[in-house]
């Protein structure tokens, strides 16, 4: 089984460890993993800023890079939503390429869904002796239905889950929104951090690096240096 790893631009730039954690999990489960060296970004920042053409150009680039993979896996619900939903239902809707993107969408998985639903993993290498609280990222949750999968995997790693109030509420990241409307974004993030503090977990865990950088940035700014902020891949791969 040849699995393409779409690393995501944020992981590539900012937290390579998440990419290696994903790699370890996939290889550990017996996948042949390829990482196309030319990959950059799924195009979502452009798409959500109104730059439709650049988003289409980048989607085509991703399609070409992963053409010969049985599956494509990304450690992000947001980028996966872009490639599974936006391309098929909007960007290439009614165009000749729509069928190509439908085929790509059918092979494309968010990491936790791939591990649970395709690989059906029953054990993970990581151990986490403590409590975690899980932040549901918007795209993964509402576009793809990522909800129980990461919690199930975290449970396999021995983590106790302390649910926060409003786990499904947006953290305020929203890509360029976090910069364009920084004050509102910060307030939304503070609301999220209040829930995280109230949950009293050792770590806040999520599946999208954008949200995690946002949350970590606010926690640290407000003096919380203790709560770990981790991608679930890091926890279950034992790379946290």
Name the H helices within 86-162.
98-107, 111-113, 138, 148-156
Closer Cβ to other proteins, 35 or 155, answer by number: 35
Q: What are the φ and ψ backbone dihedral angles of 231, each rounded to 5 degrees?
A: -80, 145
Nearest to 207 by CA among 71, 42, 107, 79: 79
Q: Considering the rule CB under 8 A, would residue 187 count as an interface residue with other proteins?
A: yes
Closer Cβ to other proteins, 142 or 197, answer by number: 142
Closer Cβ to other proteins, 23 or 104, answer by number: 23
Distance between start and end Cα atoms, the chain? 27
Q: Considering the rule CB under 8 A, would residue 164 count as an interface residue with other proteins?
A: no
**From the CB of 10, what's the least distance to other proteins, in Å?**
9
Q: Pairing state of beta strands 71-74 and 2-5?
A: parallel
Q: Considering the rule CB under 8 A, would residue 99 count as an interface residue with other proteins?
A: no
- Is residue 166 classed as helix, strand or coil in its secondary structure? coil
Binding footprint of other proteins on the chain (CB under 8 A): 7, 9, 11-17, 19-20, 23, 35, 37-41, 43, 45-52, 54, 57-58, 61, 90, 138-139, 142-143, 169-170, 172-191, 213-214, 216-218, 220-221, 229
């Amino acid at each position: 089984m040849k699995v393409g790893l779409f690393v995501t631009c944020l992981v590539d730039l900012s937290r390579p460890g998440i990419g290696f954690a994903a790699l370890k999990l996939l290889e550990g489960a017996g996948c042949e993993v390829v990482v196309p060296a030319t990959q950059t970004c799924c195009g979502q920042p452009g798409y959500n800023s109104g730059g439709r053409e650049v988003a289409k150009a980048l989607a085509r680039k991703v399609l070409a890079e992963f053409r010969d993979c049985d599956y494509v896996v990304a450690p992000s619900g947001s980028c996966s939503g872009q490639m599974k939903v936006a391309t098929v239902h909007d960007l290439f809707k009614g165009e000749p390429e729509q069928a190509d993107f439908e085929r790509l969408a059918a092979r494309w998985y968010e990491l936790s869904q791939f591990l649970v639903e395709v690989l059906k993993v029953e054990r993970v290498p990581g151990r986490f002796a403590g409590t975690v609280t899980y932040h549901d990222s918007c795209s993964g949750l509402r576009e793809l239905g990522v909800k129980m999968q990461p919690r199930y995997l975290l449970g396999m790693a021995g983590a106790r889950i302390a649910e926060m109030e409003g786990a499904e509420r947006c953290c305020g990241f929203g890509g360029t929104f976090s910069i364009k409307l920084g004050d509102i974004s910060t307030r939304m993030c503070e609301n999220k951090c209040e829930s995280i503090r109230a949950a009293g977990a050792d770590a806040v865990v999520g599946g999208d690096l954008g949200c995690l950088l946002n949350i970590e940035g606010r926690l640290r700014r407000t003096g919380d240096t203790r709560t770990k902020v981790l991608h679930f891949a890091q926890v279950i791969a034992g790379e946290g």
